[in-house]
Amino acid sequence: MEAKKFIRVMVWELPVRLFHWLNVLAIIVLCITGFLIANPPALLSNAEATNLHSFGIVRFIHFVAAYIFLFIMIMRIYWSFVGNQFASWRAFWPFSKKNWNNFWHVVKIDVMLLNEDHPNIKDISVGHNSVATLSYLVMFFIAIIQICTGFALYADTSGWWLPKLFSWVVPLFGGDFMVRTIHHVAMWTFILFSLVHVYLVFYHDWLEGRGEVSSMFGGFKFVREDRIKHHEDIPEENKK
């Protein structure tokens, strides 16, 4: 059995990790408060409405989380132009032969669970694999839909110009009914995506053993030494 040496590579830079976890937080908060807004629980209280603002607070939290969701999205888009190769927009560009070769490879190996006789280590993506980037692209568009529909519904009660930028969305769909339905249905895609996403992170960590789960905390993934171009150029302390 060949000995397999791994070295540590900084894959997810700090802004990417920050984006990821703030996004997690925002999406969880948005989903919970969103469900509460869609179907508020029966509140048993003797207090006068004057002294109670519980539903207003739920909505306030929803709006705050929405702003976080929007601003970190903008930050992440910026970072896709200045960040490393794994954060770059090029990593998400779906129209290349290399991308589709990797896509079918991932479908065969990780979705259909087939085995290869002679695995090529270059088939294992260091950053996102091509199925993942495609799913993130789709989620990115759904996130834009959520931002547009959400801020469109919010715009009317806000005096700020930013939410007002989205006020064209409601007339586009003829009224609030359709906008609300889209907003609600699109939320479910985030829940379904999260299920698959978390499962696949565990799956890769378990089957590839290169720190998939912890990479989103520390930023490091373990990459096979034979994939590094100039081995002799690597500083001694990085070889651990």
Partner 1 sequence: MSNNNEQRKTYYESIIKQGYSRRDFMKFSTYMAAFMGLENSMVGQIAQSLEKTPRLPVIWEHYQECTCCSESFIRSNHPIVADIILDKISLDYTLTLMAASGHQAEAAKQETMKKYHGEYILCVEGSIPMGDDGNYCCIAGKSAKDAFLEAAEGAKAIIAWGSCASNGCVQAAKPNPTGATPIHKIVKNKPIIRVPGCPPIGEVMAGIIVHVVAFGRLPKLDRLGRPKAFYAKRVHDSCYRRPYYDAGLFAETFDDQNAKNGYCLYKLGCKGPMTYNSCGTIKWNNGVSYPIQSGHGCIGCSEEDFWDNGPFYERTTKMPGFAVESNADTVGKVAAGVLAGGIAVHAIAANISKRKELMDRINRGKDNEKNIES
Binding site for partner 1 (CB under 8 A): 1, 4, 38-40, 42-43, 45, 47, 49-50, 52-56, 58-59, 113-115, 156-157, 167-168, 171, 174-178, 180-181, 184-185, 188, 191-192, 195-196, 199, 203, 206-207, 209
In whole angstroms, what is the distance from residue 128 CA to residue 86 CA? 7
Question: Is residue 150 within 8 Å of residue 180, measured between CB atoms?
Answer: no
CA 107 to chain centre: 20
Tokens 């993942």 sit at which residue?
A: 132
Comparison of 141 and 168: residue with beta carbon closer to partner 1: 168
Comparison of 117 and 237: residue with beta carbon closer to partner 1: 117
Q: How far is the CB of 46 from partner 1 (least distance, A)?
A: 10
Going by C-alpha positions, the residue among 144, 127, 17, 133 that lies closest to residue 79 is: 17
Q: How far is the CB of 209 from partner 1 (least distance, A)?
A: 6
The helix or strand, by DSSP H or E, that contains position 63, with its residue range, turns out to be helix 54-82
Q: How far is the CB of 200 from partner 1 (least distance, A)?
A: 9
- Give 45's contacts (C-beta < 8 A, 6+ positions apart): 52
In whole angstroms, what is the distance from residue 23 CA to residue 7 CA? 29
Question: Is residue 79 within 8 Å of residue 15, measured between CB atoms?
Answer: yes
Tokens 């802004």 sit at which residue?
A: 15
Q: How far is the CB of 142 from partner 1 (least distance, A)?
A: 14
Comparison of 54 and 101: residue with beta carbon closer to partner 1: 54
Comparison of 51 and 229: residue with beta carbon closer to partner 1: 51
Q: How far is the CB of 58 from partner 1 (least distance, A)?
A: 7
Comparison of 87 and 129: residue with beta carbon closer to partner 1: 129
The C-alpha R_g of the chain, in whole angstroms, comes to 22
Q: How far is the CB of 75 from partner 1 (least distance, A)?
A: 29
Could you give the angle at which helices 130-155 and 97-106 cross, rounded to 10 degrees? 100
Tokens 């969305």 sit at which residue?
A: 169
Comparison of 75 and 109: residue with beta carbon closer to partner 1: 109
